[in-house]
Amino acid sequence: MTPYAPLLLFLSVYAWTTWAWSVPAMVGMAYLAVSIVCFAAYALDKSAARRQERRTPERTLLLLGLAGGWPGALLAQQWLRHKTVKQPFRRLFWITVALNAAAFVWICRRLLAPAG
């Protein structure tokens, strides 16, 4: 399985919910903005690790992902080769991805789906 499969799956779900339930464009822009911030946080942490300086707490990285930045985190992990080995972090990362995606669908369904 490609490491980008979860991102492609989410983009498909996002596209479908936008088509079916008219998800506002602001939601996509929010995901993009938080993803950029999250990618930057990973890049700064990678840079600090190389220089043996103070690191970004893993909790911060995970919370940024949970808040919608996980697509940026996933890209940072692949492109920067950062946070790809430590299994406890990876496990928590995938839990935050699942929670965020489930919350996205639940909120869209509750607020935007036609009653029926």
Residue appearing with tokens 């890049």? 43
Q: What is the pLDDT of residues 21-64, one digit of tens each?
A: 999 999 999 999 999 999 999 999 999 999 999 999 999 999 99
Mean pLDDT of 73-102: 96
Please tell me the pTM assigned to this model: 0.93
Using an 8 Å Cβ cutoff, are 75 and 84 in contact? no
Helix (H) or strand (E) holding 110: helix 87-112
* pLDDT classification of 114: cutoffs 50, 70, 90: confident
Task: Give burial (CB, 10 Å; 0-12/13-18/19+) of 102.
Answer: exposed
